[in-house]
Structure 1
C-alpha cells in the first residue's frame, strides 16, 4: 500500500518575492523582476524599501510617471525618505524637465544636508547648472521673451486664450524671429476665433529655418482646425522628414491623433516602443490609436 506523499506548502513571502525580483533585475530579466517586485509591494505595502526599489526599477524601464507616483506617495507620508527627491530628479531628467530636476535636487539638499546621496546630488546639480548656463539665451531680450512665453503657455493650459494671446504678442515684440513662439501664438489666436491672424502667423512659423518639429506640429494642428487640410498634411510630411525623436516624437504622435490620422499615430507609437517597450503611456496611446483605426479587439487587448 502506497502512502500519499507529504505536501509541503511553500509560502512566497514578501521578502522572498523581493529577493527574487532583485536577482532577476541583476540578470536583466526586467519583466519578471517587475512582476515579482509588484507582488512584494502588494503583500507588504508598508515596506518603504520595496517601494523605493520598485520606483527605481520603473525608472530604469523608462516608466518615469509611474515611478514618480510611487515616490510622491512616499513623500506624502510622515518622514518620507529624502532619497525620493533624487529619484524624482532622475525621472524628471528622463522627461526632459531640467528645471524640475534642479528643484528636486535642491529639495534633497535642504531636507538631508548630510545624506548619503549628497555627493551624487551635488555632482548632478553642478552638471545641470552648467547645462542651463550653456543653453540660456545669450541675449537678455530673448531671455525675457522666453520667460513671457512660458507664462503664455501656462495661460493656454489653464484655458485662458485671451491672456495667452496678449503674452505671446509681448513675446514676439521682443523676439519676432522665434517661430516656435509664433506657432503657439497662432494656436492661441485659433482659440479666440481670430482665423485670419491665426493662418497668417502659422504661415510665418512654418517658414522658419532650420525646421522645428515643435513648430511644425503646432502649425499642423492650427491648419487642421482651420480646415486647411492640404497645408496640414504638408506639415506632417515635413515632420516625418525630420525623423522626430523622444519628446518631439511624442508631440508628433499627439498631433497625428488630433488630426484623426490614427493608423500613422499607431505606427509612430510602435517605433517609439522599440526604444522604451515598457512605457505604459506609449502602450496606452498605441492601443487607443489602433482601436480608432479599426484594429481587432484581440490585437488591442495585447496592449
Structure 2
C-alpha cells in the first residue's frame, strides 16, 4: 500500500487534502448520534472542541453527549468551562448542570444550579422545567421548595426582549428604533444585528439588511442565522453566484439544536432546495415529542414543492387535526384537489409560512371588510407580506395594499406610509393615494412627500389638490348620494351605500370608468341600495330626482350590479 501511494505521488498525481476543521468533525458527530454510536460521537465532538475551543455550541454538544453516556461529572466540568472561559451569558448551562447533579443525587447542588438559572432567566426556555425540578428536589430533601430571588434584567437584555416582541408582533419600525439604539451601545452584539437585518428586510430595505449581515459574518463567519439570512437576501437581489455559494455551505450543514434545524430547513425551502428542506423537516418531526401543526405544514409544503402530493396531503391532514380552529390546513387540502389535476408547469410553488397565501388574505379582507380579523391585524408574517408588497409588488398589488392599510390604520402603517411618500422611485398617483389613506386614518398633518420629483410639505388645505382625480370624484359621488338619501333612508341604508361604493372602487382601481356626471352614479347607487333592501323604487323615479336620464342610471346600475351581485331577473322594468 505504501509503495502504491509513493508511485502515485511520483507520477504527478494531485493529492487532495481533506479540510478537517471543526465543522467536519461536528458533522461526523451528529451522524454518529443519529446511528446511536455515542462512542464515535464523543470522539468527534472532542475533536471539534479541539479545533475551536472558543465555540460554545461545540462545548455544549460535548457536555450533552457526556451526560448521555453517564459521565455527569465530566459533563459539568465542560459546562463550567463554558461559563468561566467561553460565554458567561450562556445561562442554560446552569440548567444542564442541575440535571447532571440530580443524576448524581447531589440534590442540594442541583438546587443551587436551578436557582442560579431561574435568577438569570426567569422566563427562559427551561424555566417551567426548572420550577418542576425544584419541586421534586424539595420532596427528596424533605422541605419546601426554594424560590429564586427576583433579579432585575440588565437594561440591554430588557431592550432586546422588547425588540424581539416588536418583531414577533409585526411592529418592525419600532423594533428597528430599539435595535439601532442597542447597536450603538453594543456594536458587537450579533443577535441584535441579525434581528435588525430582518427588520430591514421585512420592511423592504434589502440593501441595508445585507450590509448589517455582512458585518456579522466578518467577525463570526460560522453564524448560521446570518448565513441563512444572507442567502435569502442574495436570492431576492438575484445575486446568483453569492446565493449558490451559500446554498452549497448550508446543504452540508447538519445542525444539532432544533432551533437551528428550523432555521436551516425553512431557509433551504425559501431558496428552492425543497428536497433538502423536506429531509430536515421530517427529521424535526421525528425528534420533537409533540410536533406542532405548523411543523407538519412546513413538511407538507416541502413535499408539495417536490410534487409529492400524497405526502403533502398526509402532513396537511395531521396539521388539520392538531389545529382544528385554523383555516390554513383546510385551505391547502381543498386547493390540493385542484392542483393535482393541473399540468406540472401550472402548479404554483408554495410559500414556507404558516399562513394563507397573500392573494387569499386580500380576498378574506374583502369578504370581512367591516372588521379586520385579529389574526390578520396581529400576525407579523401577514403584516410583513403587506409591507413587502408595497415596496416590491406591481402597481395593482400596491393599490390593494394601500386599501388594506386604510383598514389596518395603526401607528406602524402610518410610519410605513410616511416613508413611502419620500421614495423617489414610486409613482406619484400611488403617493397621492397614500396621502389619502393617511388622511383617512387620522395621521397628524402636515405630510412630507416627494411629488413630481421634488420634496414638499403638504398642509391640510392643500391635500385635496394632491389627491388622485378618481378619488376626488369618488368623494363627490358618495357625498351626492348620501345627501339625497339621508332624509328618506335609515342608517343601515346609508352604510350599505358606502360599502357598495367602496367595493366598486376596489374592483376598478386600475381601470376606473370616467365619471362624466356625478349625479348619474349617485342615482344608480341609491337605486342599488333600495333594491338590496327590498324598497320599491324605479330607475325612472330615481333618475328624475337626480335630474339625469334613466338610460344613464340603467347603464351605471349594470356596472354596480357586478359588485353587489343582485339578480337582474327579479328587477322591475322601468
Task: Tell me the TM-score normalized by structure 2.
Answer: 0.28
- Structure with higher RCO (Cα < 8 A, 6+ apart): 1
Task: Tell me the TM-score normalized by structure 1.
Answer: 0.50
